[in-house]
């Protein structure tokens, strides 16, 4: 399987190289040359998560030796997820929540960031790369911690995470600044997520800087969902979710379902689109945004316009105006039109917007949910079913309620449940009509009580772990900071 840049068909690489590079040299994203077809549903019905992951990863990452993929899958989806099936499908409130947050950092980012370090390490080894890899990640809250934890103490790799100062939840911040591991670095940047993400993309495109790093013995890579090594592992859980419905006898093989995804950088929903293109019977993909509703507007009008203020909401991991993976989606639905994609992306960078006149509304349903709608969804579902959603999942559930009202389409539906409510106690508690306590851990205790579960150890230990990272930098200082931190490790 070859991978092309979305902006130029002439440059193609195999998956190991795409994973090491993270992003193509022309600024485009790597996309597979085709979508492999899934085996018959009946034939996959008996597969465990690990077996399914091996099957799907093997189709896309076919330049890896089979033993490497086995080791990667076994290492990623075993004890890090408590040696249970890593995702659970829970039926509540008329939908099926695909709980993707049972990993080490309590958000769905773990589904890919537990395996990416293995894929990276094996790729470096197989390609005989001598330099150390510097993995950069911009985070709106959850990628950062998941990347730090995933790459911690991986030999030959340094990981640097930039998060928007003031733009992540209290708990997300605590998770990052207490990160252990000699090779981990965390920086707050004075700006928002888009600033951090753009800063990193610019650094990737800065040849001079890359040469300078190379002289010091480093090459850059990315842990954001621009890396194809993040995207493909996410395809697995949508297929798994469908098979769960099938195993429960809730659908017939071949019956179409809808999938609702709380969306920020468009990675998670794109993985669902890949599953659909591989033959999984999905009818509507429902793209849910919070008040930063750039994507909703795009799907409504065909114009993508980032010229607006980024709002800070209770779903910080979706506080994004430039959704990177939309580029891949546009590439696929335009029939691989590199030229058109390049023009649109250049327009977005230069002018702040682009219009796609060929856009068909059939492709995707886009809606958004306000803060009040999120709160009432959390409260309603808790009152009716005793089930607690985090604010991101609640954005998706709110949008689903609107969709149902508007269309009456009552197909079986999967909602991607992307974070544990423990990561966002403030919104969860206030939505339930209770006063939010001053102390974060008192709030966490209240969430545990509402959920009727123990506080996970990863959350409990944060109360006493020492703070190890306190660096703050300006956007313009990212390049210097990276060099400085790398020198400190040496």
Residue 320, CA distances (Å) to 30, 139, 181, 324 in order: 21, 10, 29, 10
> Using the rule CB under 6 A, is 193 a contact of ligand PLP?
no
> Using the rule CB under 6 A, is 421 a contact of ligand PLP?
no
Residue 282: phi, psi to the nearest 5?
Answer: -115, 130
> Using the rule CB under 6 A, is 443 a contact of ligand PLP?
no
Comparing CB distances to ligand PLP, the nearer of 151 and 424 is: 424
| Minimum CB–partner distance for residue 199 and ligand PLP (Å) | 17
Instruction: Give me the half-sphere count of Cα atoms (radius 13 Å) on the Cβ side of residue 156.
Output: 15
19 close to 120: Cβ distance less than 8 angstroms: yes
> Using the rule CB under 6 A, is 419 a contact of ligand PLP?
yes
For 190: left if phi > 0, alpha if psi spans -120 to 50, otherwise beta; the answer is beta
> Using the rule CB under 6 A, is 38 a contact of ligand PLP?
no
156 close to 118: Cβ distance less than 8 angstroms: no
Comparing CB distances to ligand PLP, the nearer of 69 and 141 is: 141
> Using the rule CB under 6 A, is 318 a contact of ligand PLP?
yes
218 close to 132: Cβ distance less than 8 angstroms: yes
| Minimum CB–partner distance for residue 172 and ligand PLP (Å) | 9
Instruction: Give 439-476 as a DSSP string.
Output: SHHHHHHHHHHHHTSPPPHHHHGGGTSPP---EEEEGG
Comparing CB distances to ligand PLP, the nearer of 394 and 473 is: 394
3-state DSSP assignment of residue 161: strand
| Minimum CB–partner distance for residue 81 and ligand PLP (Å) | 17
> Using the rule CB under 6 A, is 195 a contact of ligand PLP?
no
Chain centroid offset of residue 297 CA = 21
Among 142, 149, 195, 373, binds ligand PLP (CB under 6 A): 142
> Using the rule CB under 6 A, is 427 a contact of ligand PLP?
no
Handedness of CA 10, 13, 15, 19 (dihedral sign): negative
| Minimum CB–partner distance for residue 113 and ligand PLP (Å) | 11
Can you give the C-alpha Rg of the chain in angstroms?
21
| Minimum CB–partner distance for residue 476 and ligand PLP (Å) | 25
| Minimum CB–partner distance for residue 345 and ligand PLP (Å) | 18
CA distance 170 to 223: 22
> Using the rule CB under 6 A, is 169 a contact of ligand PLP?
no
CB atoms within 10 A of CB 128: 6
> Using the rule CB under 6 A, is 86 a contact of ligand PLP?
no
Comparing CB distances to ligand PLP, the nearer of 122 and 424 is: 424
Token representation of residue 453 = 């579960």
Comparing CB distances to ligand PLP, the nearer of 89 and 419 is: 419
Among 7, 21, 109, 306, binds ligand PLP (CB under 6 A): 109
> Using the rule CB under 6 A, is 313 a contact of ligand PLP?
no
> Using the rule CB under 6 A, is 418 a contact of ligand PLP?
yes
Choose among 70, 77, 93, 66: nearest CA to 404: 93
| Minimum CB–partner distance for residue 129 and ligand PLP (Å) | 28
Comparing CB distances to ligand PLP, the nearer of 109 and 328 is: 109
The stretches of 28-76 forming alpha helices (DSSP H) are 41-44, 49-60, 66-76
Binders in 218-277 for ligand PLP, by CB under 6 A? 225, 262-268
Choose among 78, 100, 469, 81: nearest CA to 317: 100
Comparing CB distances to ligand PLP, the nearer of 122 and 151 is: 151
Token representation of residue 160 = 């640097």
Among 102, 185, 293, 392, binds ligand PLP (CB under 6 A): 392
Burial of 83 from C-beta contacts in 10 A (0-12 / 13-18 / 19+): exposed
| Minimum CB–partner distance for residue 343 and ligand PLP (Å) | 24
| Minimum CB–partner distance for residue 192 and ligand PLP (Å) | 14
Comparing CB distances to ligand PLP, the nearer of 185 and 392 is: 392
| Minimum CB–partner distance for residue 395 and ligand PLP (Å) | 8
**Chain position carrying tokens 């293995």:** 118
> Using the rule CB under 6 A, is 316 a contact of ligand PLP?
no
Comparing CB distances to ligand PLP, the nearer of 96 and 288 is: 288
Comparing CB distances to ligand PLP, the nearer of 178 and 197 is: 197
Binders in 348-367 for ligand PLP, by CB under 6 A? none
Token representation of residue 424 = 């966002």
For 11, the enclosing helix (H) or strand (E) is strand 8-13
CA distance 226 to 452: 37
Comparing CB distances to ligand PLP, the nearer of 345 and 419 is: 419
How many residues bind ligand PLP (CB under 6 A)? The answer is 16
Token representation of residue 201 = 């993309």
Residues that bind ligand PLP (CB under 6 A): 107, 109, 142, 225, 262-268, 317-318, 392, 418-419
């Amino acid at each position: 399987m070859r991978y092309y840049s979305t902006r130029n068909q002439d440059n193609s690489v195999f998956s190991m190289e795409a994973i090491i590079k993270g992003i193509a040299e022309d600024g485009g994203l790597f996309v597979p040359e085709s979508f492999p077809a899934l085996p018959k549903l009946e034939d996959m019905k008996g597969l465990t998560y690990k077996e399914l992951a091996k099957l799907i990863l093997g189709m896309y990452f076919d330049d890896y030796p089979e033993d490497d993929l086995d080791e990667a899958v076994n290492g990623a989806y075993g004890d890090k997820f408590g040696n249970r099936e890593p995702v659970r499908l829970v039926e509540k409130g008329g939908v099926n929540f695909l709980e993707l947050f049972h990993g080490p950092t309590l958000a769905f980012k773990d589904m890919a960031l537990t395996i990416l370090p293995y894929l990276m390490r094996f790729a470096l080894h197989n390609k005989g790369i001598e330099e150390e890899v510097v993995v950069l990640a911009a985070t709106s809250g959850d990628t950062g911690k998941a990347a730090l934890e995933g790459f911690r103490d991986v030999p030959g790799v340094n990981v640097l995470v930039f998060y928007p100062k003031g733009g992540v939840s209290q708990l997300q911040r605590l998770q990052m600044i207490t990160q252990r591991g000699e090779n981990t670095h965390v920086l707050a940047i004075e700006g928002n997520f888009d600033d951090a993400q753009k800063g990193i993309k610019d650094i990737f495109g800065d040849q001079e800087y890359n040469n300078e790093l190379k002289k010091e013995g480093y090459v850059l890579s990315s842990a954001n969902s621009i890396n194809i090594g993040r995207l493909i592992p996410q395809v697995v859980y949508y297929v798994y979710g469908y098979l769960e419905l099938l195993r429960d006898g809730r659908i017939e093989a071949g019956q179409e379902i809808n999938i609702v995804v709380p969306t920020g950088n468009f990675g998670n929903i794109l993985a669902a689109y890949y599953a659909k293109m591989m033959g999984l019977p999905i009818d509507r993909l429902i793209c849910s945004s919070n008040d930063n509703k750039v994507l909703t507007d795009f799907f409504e009008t065909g114009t993508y316009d980032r010229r607006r203020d980024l709002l800070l909401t209770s779903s910080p991991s979706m506080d994004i105006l430039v959704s990177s993976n939309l580029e891949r989606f546009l590439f696929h639905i335009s029939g691989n039109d590199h030229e058109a994609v390049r023009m649109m992306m250049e327009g977005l960078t230069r002018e702040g917007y682009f219009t796609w006149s060929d856009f068909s509304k059939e492709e995707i349903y886009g809606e958004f949910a306000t803060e009040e709608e999120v709160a009432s969804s959390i409260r309603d579902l808790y009152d009716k079913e005793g089930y607690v959603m985090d604010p991101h999942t609640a954005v998706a559930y709110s949008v689903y309620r609107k969709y149902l009202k508007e269309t009456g389409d009552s197909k079986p539906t999967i909602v991607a449940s992307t974070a544990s409510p423990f990561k966002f106690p403030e919104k969860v508690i206030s939505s339930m009509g209770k006063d939010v306590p001053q102390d974060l851990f008192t709030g966490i205790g209240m969430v545990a009580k509402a959920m009727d579960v123990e506080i996970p150890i990863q959350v409990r230990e944060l109360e006493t772990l020492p703070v190890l990272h306190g660096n703050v930098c300006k956007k313009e200082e990212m390049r210097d900071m990276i060099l400085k931190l790398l020198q400190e490790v040496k």
